[in-house]
Amino acid sequence: MMLKKESKTLKYMQVETAVRDLVARMEPGNRLPTERDLAKMLDCHVLTVRKGIQPLVDEGVLNRRVGSGTFVNTQEESSSPKTSRKEIEYMGLLIPNVKNLYCDRLVQTLASHALKNGGHLRSAWVNDFGKEALATVDEMVQSGCKALILPWYAASMNDQIRDFVTQCPIPVVLPKLLPGFEHLCFESQKVFGSASVLEVEVICTYFMRLGCKRIHFIGPEDTSSPLLQEKVTAYAAFASKNNIESKFGLFNQSQSSLMNLAKQEKQYKGDLAILSYDDAHAARFMTAMHIQGLEAPTDYRIIGHNDTSIALNTMPPLTTIRENFNYIGEAMIRSAEALIQGNCAQSTEVTNPVLVIRDSCGGRDKANTMKLPKCELIID
C-alpha cells in the first residue's frame, strides 16, 4: 500500500481507494490497522488517513468504535479482491466543509439508505463550489461517479452553485429550487416548500390551543432563502387569517443583533410564543432571553425545527418539528438514479409534519387531547 506521489489524484482520495481495496480482502468484523499505522504504511499524514476513511464510515462500510478501533461492518456487494474503484459506478455526495447538523443528519441517512438498497455512494468535502469542487468532481468522474447529490448548501452560495451546476460534467441533485435548474431539485416545483407551510400552520395552531395570542417569528437575516420565504409567507397568512399581529425577528450572526431582538421581545414577557426558523436560531434566542432574565416556558414559549441534537441540549429541551430525513434521502437518491438514466424523478409527495413535544413550550398535559390535522404528535 503506497500512494503515488506523482499522481494528480488528491491524497485523501488515494487513501480511500487503498482502504477500499484493503477492506475488499477482509472479513466482516475484522479490525482495520490504526490510523497511525495506515499513515506509516501509506507515507502520509494521519489526518489525510482520517479524511480518506470517513466516506467508508459514512457509508456504513466501516464502523468506528471509540477505544476499540475501526472495524469492517460489511463488504460492498459488487467488490472483490480484484475489483478496483474505477470498475464500480457510484453516486457522489459533495458536502460543504462547514459544521451543519442538518447536513450531517441527512448525509448519514443518505449513506444508510444507499447501503440498505445495495447502492454505491461516496462522499467528498469541499470548501466551496468553485475550481476546487470542479477538480474534485473530475477525480470522482474518473473513478466511476455518475451523478452528484448536494445535500445542503447555504443560500448565499446560490450564484456559485449555479455556475458549478453549469460546468459540472455529470448531473447534480439539488436540495432546493434554483432558478433555471428547477428540474434538478429533489422535489417538484409544485410541492417544494409545501411541508414548510404545513409546519407553520401546525405550530401556530398548537400555540393558539395553548391559549397564546401573541405569536412571533424569528429566523436568519437572509431574504434569499426560498425556505425562509415560504415560512415567512405561511406565517403572515396564518396571522392575517386568525387576526394575530404578525411580528418578525430576523437576526444575523452578530451578538448585538440577537441581543437587540431579545430586549425587544422582553416587553411581552408572559404573553409570547416564538416560532423559530430552526433549532439553531431557537437555541441562540433562548440563550439571549436567559441573559435578559427570562426562561421558557414560564416567560415565553418556543418551538424550533429539524430536531437536531441542539434541541435536546437547550435548557429546557426544545419542542421542535422533526425533519423527515428518510423521505428526503430516498427522494434524493431516486432523483440521482433517474438523472443517470437521462430521466427526471422529482418527488411530488407532501409529507405531514411530526411535532415533538418537549418542555420549551409547555402543554405536555394538553398535548394528548389535541387533534391537530395533518400532524403527528410525539411527547418526548
Shared domain for 105 and 242, answered yes or no, is no
Shared domain for 314 and 174, answered yes or no, is no
Shared domain for 208 and 170, answered yes or no, is no
Would residue 59 count as lying in a domain?
yes
Instruction: Give 136-152 as a DSSP string.
Output: HHHHHHHTTEEEEE---
H/E element, 230: helix 226-241
* Structural domain containing residue 107: 11-184
Shared domain for 154 and 217, answered yes or no, is no
CA distances from 69 to 23, 32, 115, 166, 227 (A): 14, 7, 21, 42, 41
Shared domain for 199 and 121, answered yes or no, is no
pLDDT at 8: 54
Residue corresponding to grid cell 430552526 = 278
Shared domain for 152 and 243, answered yes or no, is no
pLDDT at 357: 95
pLDDT at 7: 56
Choosing from 184, 219, 247, the residue where a domain stops is: 184
Would residue 337 count as lying in a domain?
no
pLDDT at 84: 41
Choosing from 146, 162, 184, the residue where a domain stops is: 184
pLDDT at 51: 85
> How does strand 273-276 pair with strand 215-220?
parallel
Shared domain for 225 and 372, answered yes or no, is yes
Residues for the chain: how many in total? 380
State the CATH number of the domain containing residue 300. 3.40.50.2300
- For 220, residues 6+ apart whose C-beta sits below 8 A from its C-beta are 228, 250, 251, 252, 277, 281
Would residue 341 count as lying in a domain?
no
Residue 34 to residue 11: CA distance in whole angstroms = 18
User: 121: closest CA among 145, 148, 90?
Assistant: 90
CA dihedral 230, 236, 242, 248 (to 10 degrees): 120
Positions in the chain whose pLDDT score sits under 50: 75-87
Would residue 83 count as lying in a domain?
yes
Would residue 73 count as lying in a domain?
yes
Question: How many angstroms separate the first and last alpha carbons of the chain?
Answer: 49
Choosing from 124, 158, 184, the residue where a domain stops is: 184
Give the 3-state secondary structure of residue 168: coil
User: 186: closest CA among 335, 26, 10?
Assistant: 335
- The total number of structural domains in the chain stands at 2
pLDDT at 317: 96
Would residue 328 count as lying in a domain?
no
> Are the C-beta atoms of 203 and 355 separated by less than 8 Å?
yes
